[in-house]
């Protein structure tokens, strides 16, 4: 996937113009180069090999999201199971929540999702994390570390270097 | 003689007044005597030596099978409940995780709520707490209850009324600094250590005046000697001077400024040596390739002068950490014979899987042995150099970035985490709640943003190859470094242990059982399933002639993170290990105190 980090760059540009609302549905599919990328942004071969983005999404999810949302996107004692949430949320809703956070704090519950829009460790890999969680949510990918994965493509390495240097 | 001598009556009266006076003047003197009274439980780890031992023996190995629930109390909070209640006189003080509610119950009025304190805290602190919104308990001293809130505020509450006497702000949660640790009162000071190494904050312990909340000293874990309160000549590591600015020279460039080493665990205090002991946590980030050097003084045992904070000696257990083996676990202070000589010892069960015994006066390393046979990242610890002999196969530094290093034991949560052990002077044994978990660890590059996670590794956790139990409860001989007995548990034992003069040892399990075992053999004598998984610490007290055992249940914390999936519940990707039942099939959330006693 060429989109590694592109959303973050776009977010920065958009945020600078203070027109976050312009992130319209459909933009993602165009970015990813295929019409159905938003619906199925991952590739898993019959032998279990995943594309780099899905595998990288697994890694970055574990580093940045697992501490609340639990292993495998399966939830914890205090964070919702994202493999379930993504059955309901669109890519745009997912993106919006990651960027701006979410709050549900009252007498019965203390759920608080932080705004991660300025966190490069998340935003540079947001599409990868989405691909991984979508694969989990669709039941296309089991729990744990994906058995095999594509090598890191040079484009991903370049996009990573550019985005992380921001 | 029935009639009182008038002179001695006056003397008695004066003595009583003098005692009262000194109680209000020196919190330390009051606590020094209170910690010896087995009827009360005045500090989270029982006493300044952190033994979690009680001299009470009404409940003993013979009759513990008859134990019953005497009463229960709900905290009304669903998150993970670490720590445990304090008992001072007829009052019991209970704390809860965020929002950090504190209850004062009157034991003489059937647990009537005398006061309740609930701080208003910015909920933005919730997501910057690494592993649930836990709190490890309140402290007592000088007629005040001290609460270390999630948002780093240290609050002094009047023990009688719950009224706020003062508030001190310890750190900045918008940068990822939070409060989870229990305070400790020493002399006229209350000490706290911060949390937030997963966010690249600088670790420190700070002493505040119990009367005013004024900061008296602060000792950072990293940085120049003026910040770490070290003297390059006088502060020693294994008998040798540490050298100037060792908290900078062991880092590359300015990396120490986001270096971590938070002091989020437990403290102990030796009143004779006037030294306070605690350990520091992981260096930031979890990616070792990104931070060359020994990263001092992360992963270190500190011995500091209580009055000034100056470091007398240090010992870094895991230089240049590659696995997140925080060094924050409790330091148990015991006076014991070692190789024919009476020594002042410090015993510490580290996350890295080694049980250490040191001379707590000099910092000399005496024993370092594995307390879980599964430990494989190092073959042994060299007692002379203090260095672990690392195994390259399990080095995530050697493996490098973007490489998955497999089958490392223990996992990042350690062979034991913060859950405190107990020591019985009767049996001479240490009782240690342990994790029996291994991991794969893949470090990768991360960027630092203030207030955002700074982790830099992905992990998978599972029991050691060919095994299914994720925990053990063990008895340990600290002078020989040998396991005396080991009780397997299906899940990690995440509850603090209690040893008693009744030759019974208590602990809780993640499924929610409060268990009593024989101190000599480990044989199970009693169990009861409380309303939720136990990550709290068991304590005991006596009121109105009756001995009680109390524990908070309420699943969460690190242990709760794996709850939904089970730590190994879904290893389809690995296709190995064998399915393990998920914890969510055994228990659900909810904070409750359960108090046990023998039938009347």
Residue ranges for chain A with pLDDT beneath 50: 1-35
Strands B504-508 and B275-279: unpaired
Instruction: Kindly provide the residue ranges of all beta strands, DSSP E only, lying in A26-128, ordered along the sequence.
Output: 49-50, 102-105, 110-113
Mean pLDDT to the nearest integer, B538-548: 98
pLDDT digits (tens, 9 = 90+) for B69-127: 999 999 999 899 999 999 999 999 999 999 999 999 999 999 999 999 999 999 889 88
Option in B286, B458, B572 nearest A142 (CB): B572
pLDDT digits (tens, 9 = 90+) for B446-478: 999 898 888 899 888 888 988 888 899 999 998
Q: Which residues of A touch B567 (CB under 8 A)?
A: 71
The dihedrals phi and psi of B598, each to the nearest 5 degrees, come to -75, 155
Q: Which residues of B touch A158 (CB under 8 A)?
A: none
Which range is most confident: A28-42, B24-38, B586-600?
A: B586-600
Q: Are the Cβ atoms of A59 and B458 closer than 8 angstroms?
A: yes
Omega cis (within 30) before B410 = yes
**What DSSP element (H or E) covers A63?**
helix A52-64
Residues 6+ apart with CB under 8 A from A155: A2, A4
Strands B275-279 and A102-105: unpaired
Number of domains, chain B: 1
**Closest-CA residue to B114 (of B99, B139, B93):** B93
* pLDDT on residue B431: 98
Residue B582 has pLDDT above 80, yes or no: no
Residue A1 belongs to some domain of the structure = no
Our CA dihedral for B328, B329, B335, B338, rounded to 10 degrees, sits at: -90
* pLDDT on residue B21: 41
Reported as a pLDDT band with limits 50, 70 and 90, residue B558 is confident
Q: Which residues of A touch B449 (CB under 8 A)?
A: 118-121
Q: Which residues of B touch A66 (CB under 8 A)?
A: 561
CB A124 within 8 A of CB A116: no
Distance between A56 CA and the closest CA of chain B, angstroms:
10
Q: What is the Cβ-side half-sphere exposure of residue B160, based on CA atoms within 13 angstroms?
A: 2
Q: Which residues of B touch A78 (CB under 8 A)?
A: 78-80, 132-133, 556, 560
- Record the tokens describing residue B578, joined without a space: 């064998």
* pLDDT on residue B468: 83
Taken as a whole, chain A contains a residue count of 166
Number of domains, chain A: 1
Select from A56, A63, A153 the residue whose CB has the most chain B CBs within 10 Å, as the one to mutate to test that interface. A63
* pLDDT on residue B581: 52
* pLDDT on residue A12: 41
Residue B4 has pLDDT above 80, yes or no: no
pLDDT digits (tens, 9 = 90+) for B151-197: 999 999 999 999 999 999 999 999 999 999 999 999 999 999 999 98
Q: How far apart are CA B407 and CA B574, in angstroms?
A: 12
CB B119 within 8 A of CB B110: no
Reported as a pLDDT band with limits 50, 70 and 90, residue B241 is very high
Residue B388 belongs to some domain of the structure = no
Residue B359 belongs to some domain of the structure = no
Residue B205 has pLDDT above 50, yes or no: yes
pLDDT digits (tens, 9 = 90+) for A89-115: 999 999 999 999 998 887 777 788 999
Dihedral angle sign, alpha carbons of residues B559, B82, A103, A19: negative
* pLDDT on residue B19: 42
User: Would you tell me how many other CB atoms lie within 10 Å of the CB of residue B19?
Assistant: 12
- Record the tokens describing residue A46, joined without a space: 């019959």
Q: Which residues of B touch A75 (CB under 8 A)?
A: 564-565
Residue B220 belongs to some domain of the structure = no
Distance between A55 CA and the closest CA of chain B, angstroms:
11
Q: How far apart are CA B204 and CA B185, in angstroms?
A: 16
Q: What is the Cβ-side half-sphere exposure of residue A57, based on CA atoms within 13 angstroms?
A: 25
| B217 or B565, higher pLDDT | B217
Distance between B301 CA and the closest CA of chain A, angstroms:
26
Q: Are the Cβ atoms of A118 and B452 closer than 8 angstroms?
A: yes
Q: Are the Cβ atoms of B570 and A74 closer than 8 angstroms?
A: yes
* pLDDT on residue B469: 87
CB B300 within 8 A of CB B216: no
Select from B132, B561, B570, B577 the residue whose CB has the most chain A CBs within 10 Å, as the one to mutate to test that interface. B561
Q: Which residues of B touch A145 (CB under 8 A)?
A: 404, 440, 458, 460, 573-574
Residues 6+ apart with CB under 8 A from B148: B135, B138, B154, B170, B179, B180, B181, B182, B183, B192
Q: Which domain holds residue B572?
A: 24-212+249-330+408-597
> For all residues of chain B together, what is the average pLDDT?
92
Distance between A23 CA and the closest CA of chain B, angstroms:
24
Residues 6+ apart with CB under 8 A from B347: B331, B332, B334, B355, B356, B357, B423, B430, B478
Option in B124, B452, B457 nearest A119 (CB): B452
* pLDDT on residue B243: 98
Q: Are the Cβ atoms of A63 and B455 closer than 8 angstroms?
A: yes
User: Would you tell me how many other CB atoms lie within 10 Å of the CB of residue B272?
Assistant: 8
Angle at B401 between CA A61 and CA B173, to 5 degrees: 50
Q: Are the Cβ atoms of A78 and B556 closer than 8 angstroms?
A: yes
Strands B268-270 and B482-489: unpaired
Residue B585 has pLDDT above 90, yes or no: no
Q: Are the Cβ atoms of A121 and B563 closer than 8 angstroms?
A: no
Residue B531 has pLDDT above 60, yes or no: yes
| B350 or A10, higher pLDDT | B350
Interface A–B counts its CB contacts (< 8 A) at 141
Option in B130, B565, B575 nearest A74 (CB): B565
Beta bridge partners of B283: B260
CB B179 within 8 A of CB B122: no
CB B414 within 8 A of CB B377: no
Distance between B125 CA and the closest CA of chain A, angstroms:
9
ipTM for the complex? Answer: 0.79
Q: How far apart are CA B158 and CA B167, in angstroms?
A: 12
Cα B20 versus chain centre, distance: 32
**Closest-CA residue to B295 (of B315, B329, B321, B317):** B321
CATH number for A98: 1.10.760.10
Mean pLDDT to the nearest integer, B477-492: 94
Reported as a pLDDT band with limits 50, 70 and 90, residue B580 is very low
Q: Are the Cβ atoms of A71 and B127 closer than 8 angstroms?
A: no
Exposed (0-12), middle (13-18) or buried (19+): which is B193, by Cβ within 10 Å? buried
- Record the tokens describing residue B491, joined without a space: 């899940």
Taken as a whole, chain B contains a residue count of 600
Q: How far apart are CA B36 and CA B46, in angstroms?
A: 9
Instruction: Kindly provide the residue ranges of all beta strands, DSSP E only, lying in A43-164, ordered along the sequence.
Output: 49-50, 102-105, 110-113, 148-149
Q: Are the Cβ atoms of B561 and A66 closer than 8 angstroms?
A: yes
The residue in chain A having the minimum alpha-carbon distance to the alpha carbon of residue B176 is A114
Residue B485 belongs to some domain of the structure = yes
* pLDDT on residue A38: 57
Option in A67, A111, A122 nearest B130 (CB): A67
What 3-state DSSP class applies to B92?
strand
Percent share of chain B, pLDDT over 70: 92
What 3-state DSSP class applies to A91?
helix
Distance between B187 CA and the closest CA of chain A, angstroms:
37
Residues 6+ apart with CB under 8 A from B64: B502, B504, B516, B525, B526
Q: Which domain holds residue A54?
A: 6-164
Select from B564, B579, B583 the residue whose CB has the most chain A CBs within 10 Å, as the one to mutate to test that interface. B564
* pLDDT on residue B24: 44
Q: Are the Cβ atoms of A164 and B447 closer than 8 angstroms?
A: yes
Residue B512 has pLDDT above 70, yes or no: yes
Beta bridge partners of B440: B460
Percent share of chain B, pLDDT over 90: 82
Option in B98, B456, B555 nearest A110 (CB): B98
Angle at B590 between CA B585 and CA B591, to 5 degrees: 135
Residue A153 belongs to some domain of the structure = yes
Active site residues of B: 324
Residue B392 belongs to some domain of the structure = no
Using left for φ > 0, alpha for ψ between -120 and 50, and beta otherwise, residue B554 falls in: left
Tracing tokens 């590059």 back to the chain, one arrives at B445
Q: Are the Cβ atoms of A70 and B79 closer than 8 angstroms?
A: no
CATH number for B200: 2.140.10.10
pLDDT digits (tens, 9 = 90+) for B314-339: 999 999 999 999 999 999 999 999 99
The residue in chain A having the minimum alpha-carbon distance to the alpha carbon of residue B588 is A77
CB B535 within 8 A of CB B123: no
pLDDT digits (tens, 9 = 90+) for B267-300: 999 999 999 999 999 999 999 999 999 999 999 9
The residue in chain A having the minimum alpha-carbon distance to the alpha carbon of residue B579 is A143
Select from A59, A66, A69, A71 the residue whose CB has the most chain B CBs within 10 Å, as the one to mutate to test that interface. A71
Distances in Å between the Cα of B133 and the Cα atoms of A51, B124, B508 are: 36, 12, 20
Distance between A19 CA and the closest CA of chain B, angstroms:
23
pLDDT digits (tens, 9 = 90+) for B381-427: 999 999 999 999 999 999 999 999 999 999 999 999 999 999 999 99
Residue B544 has pLDDT above 80, yes or no: yes
Q: Which residues of B touch A162 (CB under 8 A)?
A: none
**Closest-CA residue to B312 (of B351, B270, B266, B281):** B270
CB B363 within 8 A of CB B347: no
| Helices A6-16 + A154-164 axis angle, to 10 | 30
């Amino acid at each position: 996937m060429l989109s590694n980090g592109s959303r973050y760059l776009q977010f920065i540009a958009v945020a600078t113009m203070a027109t976050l609302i312009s992130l319209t549905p459909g933009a993602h599919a165009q970015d990813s180069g295929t019409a159905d990328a938003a619906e199925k942004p991952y590739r898993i071969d019959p032998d279990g090999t995943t594309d780099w983005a899905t595998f990288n999404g697994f890694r970055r999810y574990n580093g940045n999201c697992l501490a609340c949302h639990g292993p495998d996107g399966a939830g914890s004692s205090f964070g919702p199971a994202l493999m379930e949430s993504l059955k309901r949320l669109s890519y745009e809703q997912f993106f919006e929540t990651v960027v701006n956070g979410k709050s549900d704090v009252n007498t019965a519950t203390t759920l608080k999702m932080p705004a991660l829009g300025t966190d490069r460790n998340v935003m540079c890999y947001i599409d990868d994390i989405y691909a991984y969680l979508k694969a989990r949510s669709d039941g296309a990918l089991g729990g744990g570390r994906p058995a095999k994965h594509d090598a890191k493509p040079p484009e991903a390495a370049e996009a990573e270097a550019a985005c992380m240097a921001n | 003689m029935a009639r009182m001598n008038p002179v001695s009556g006056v003397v008695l009266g004066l003595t009583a007044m003098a005692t009262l006076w000194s109680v209000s003047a020196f919190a330390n003197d009051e606590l020094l005597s209170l910690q010896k009274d087995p009827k009360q439980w005045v500090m989270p780890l029982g006493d300044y030596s952190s033994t979690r031992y009680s001299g009470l023996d009404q409940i003993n190995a013979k009759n513990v099978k008859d134990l019953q629930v005497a009463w229960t109390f709900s905290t009304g909070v669903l998150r993970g409940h670490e720590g445990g209640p304090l008992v001072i006189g007829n009052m019991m003080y209970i704390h809860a995780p965020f929002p950090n509610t504190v209850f004062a119950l009157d034991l003489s009025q059937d647990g009537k709520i005398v006061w309740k304190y609930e701080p208003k805290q910015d909920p933005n602190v919730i997501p910057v707490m690494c592993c649930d919104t836990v709190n490890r308990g309140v402290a007592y001293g000088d007629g005040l209850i001290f609460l270390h809130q999630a948002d780093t505020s240290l609050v002094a509450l009047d023990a009688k009324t719950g009224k706020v006497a003062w508030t001190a702000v310890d750190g900045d949660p918008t940068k990822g600094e939070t409060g989870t640790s229990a305070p400790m009162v020493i002399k006229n000071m209350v000490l706290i250590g911060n949390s937030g190494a997963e966010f690249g904050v600088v670790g420190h312990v700070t002493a505040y005046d119990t009367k005013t909340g004024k900061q008296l000293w602060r000792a950072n874990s990293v940085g120049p000697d003026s910040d770490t309160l070290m003297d390059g000549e006088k502060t020693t590591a294994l008998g040798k001077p540490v050298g100037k600015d060792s908290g900078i020279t062991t880092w590359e460039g300015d990396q120490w400024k986001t270096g971590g080493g938070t002091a989020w665990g437990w403290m102990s205090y030796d009143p004779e040596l006037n030294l306070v002991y605690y350990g520091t946590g992981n260096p930031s980030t979890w990616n070792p390739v990104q931070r060359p050097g020994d990263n001092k003084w992360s992963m270190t045992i500190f011995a500091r002068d209580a009055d000034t904070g100056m470091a007398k000696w240090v010992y870094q257990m895991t230089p240049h950490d590659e696995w997140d083996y925080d060094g924050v676990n409790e330091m148990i202070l015991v006076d014991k014979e070692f190789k024919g000589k009476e020594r002042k010892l410090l015993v510490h069960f580290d996350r890295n899987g080694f049980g250490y015994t040191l001379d707590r006066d000099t910092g000399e390393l005496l024993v370092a042995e594995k307390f879980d046979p599964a430990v494989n990242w190092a073959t042994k610890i060299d007692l002379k150099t203090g260095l672990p002999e690392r195994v390259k196969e399990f080095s995530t530094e050697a493996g490098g970035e973007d490489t998955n290093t497999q089958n490392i034991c223990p996992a990042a949560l350690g062979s034991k985490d913060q859950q405190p052990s107990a020591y019985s002077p009767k049996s001479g044994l240490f009782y240690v709640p342990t994790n029996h978990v291994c991991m794969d660890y893949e470090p990768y590059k991360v960027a630092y943003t203030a207030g955002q996670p700074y982790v830099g590794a992905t992990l998978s956790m599972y029991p050691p190859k060919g095994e299914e139990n994720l925990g053990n409860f063990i008895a340990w001989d600290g002078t020989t470094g040998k396991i005396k007995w080991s009780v397997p548990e299906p899940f990690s034992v995440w509850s603090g242990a209690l040893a008693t003069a009744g030759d019974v040892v208590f602990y809780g399990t993640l499924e929610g059982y409060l268990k009593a075992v024989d101190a000599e053999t480990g044989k199970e004598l009693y169990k009861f399933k409380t309303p939720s998984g136990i990550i709290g610490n068991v304590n005991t007290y006596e009121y109105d002639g009756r001995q009680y055992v109390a524990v908070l249940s309420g699943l969460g914390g690190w242990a709760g993170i794996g709850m939904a999936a089970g730590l190994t519940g879904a290893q389809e990707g690995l296709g190995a290990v064998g399915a393990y039942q998920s914890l969510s099939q055994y228990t659900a959330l909810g904070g409750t105190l359960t108090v046990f006693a023998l039938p009347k």
